[in-house]
Amino acid sequence: MMRQVLSAAVLLASVILPLSTAGAAVYTLTDANSSSIVDTGPAGMTKWTVDGINNLNRQAFWFRVGATGGETNLGSLPLISAIQTSPDYLRLTYQGGSFNVEVKYTLTGGSLGSGTSDIGESIKITNTSASPLDFHFFQYVNLHLMGQAINDSVQISGGNTAIQTLGAAFVSETSGVPYPSRYEVGFAPTTLNSLMDGSPTTLNNLAGPVGPDDLTWAFQWDRTIAAGGSFNISKDKYLVPEPATLSLLALGGLAVLRRRQK
């Protein structure tokens, strides 16, 4: 009953509060042994805490319309909707001049002390104009596994899966169909600087592995979206404490952790 009252209050607040980049809000997702903090402004997701240890420095999204000019941080756009109907779920919708971007987050924690956690993300880009839209979308991730900024290694496998390790700890993120158009691993803050330098970015397809150091990865999706059409991206990242657990997840154990996208 209390959870229903809280959810209703959060939903009401998301509807009646003025939403803009100037007044970016911060939302906390929680489930079992995990929590995550999402800033609706340019900072993006700034924490992924599992069993008391934060594993994420920053995840944020950028976009570019057309082939020229620099990228724009998604969180700098007006936020027209922010809905949190349960502690583990958040849906944000941003409005551009000729498009909307909807981002859904679902956090699924493991049992206390397991070190396992999962974040599912679904992104929908809708062309609200009457003309085709040349759209370029970027995801940037800087993990600090087990609370450490250095000593990680990272690589891209198969063009759509980022794998970052620190000792026995292991994070993997897979982007489902459609695969990213391009990708990049590197040393912080090289990719971030490229996204913020005012010039068009094309990720370099460096798959690695690279490290050890403070490392990042990025995915890029390039699509021409028809007038009134949309483009969907589905991603899932999970943390496991050691390779034996990863093997279990690969055999289907991840389904126990993962909930359906709302």
β-partners of residue 203 are none
Q: Is 243 helix (H, G, I), strand (E, B) or coil?
A: helix
Q: Which helix (H) or strand (E) holds 222?
A: strand 215-225
- Distance of alpha carbon 251 from the chain centroid: 24
Helix (H) or strand (E) holding 195: helix 190-195
* Digit-coded pLDDT (tens) for 127-165: 999 999 999 999 999 999 999 999 899 999 999 999 999
Please state, in angstroms and rounded to a whole number, the distance separating the CA atoms of residues 107 and 110: 10
Closest-CA residue to 143 (of 124, 167, 119, 171):
171
| Domain definitions of the chain by residue range | 2-257
* Beta carbons within 10 angstroms of residue 132's beta carbon: 12
CB-CB contact of 234 with 106 (8 Å) = no
The percent helix, strand, coil of the chain (3-state, each to 5) is: 15, 50, 30
Q: What is the pTM of this model?
A: 0.87
Q: Which residues of 40-53 are buried (b: 16+ CB within 10 A; e: fewer)?
A: bbbbbbbbbbbbee
Output the pLDDT for position 12: 37
Distance CA 152, CA 28 (A): 26
* pLDDT value, residue 19: 39
| Residues counted in the chain | 262
CATH 2.70.98.40 at 2-257, yes or no: yes
Instruction: State pLDDT tens for residues 20-75.
Output: 345 699 999 999 999 999 999 999 999 999 999 999 999 999 999 999 999 999 99
Question: Which amino acid does the sequence have at 47?
Answer: K
Phi, psi of 22 (to 5 degrees): -65, -30
Looking at residue 243, what is its pLDDT?
Answer: 54
H or E segment at 12? helix 2-16
* Mean predicted lDDT score pLDDT of the chain: 88
Does 262 have pLDDT greater than 80? no
Contact 225, 233 (CB under 8 A): no
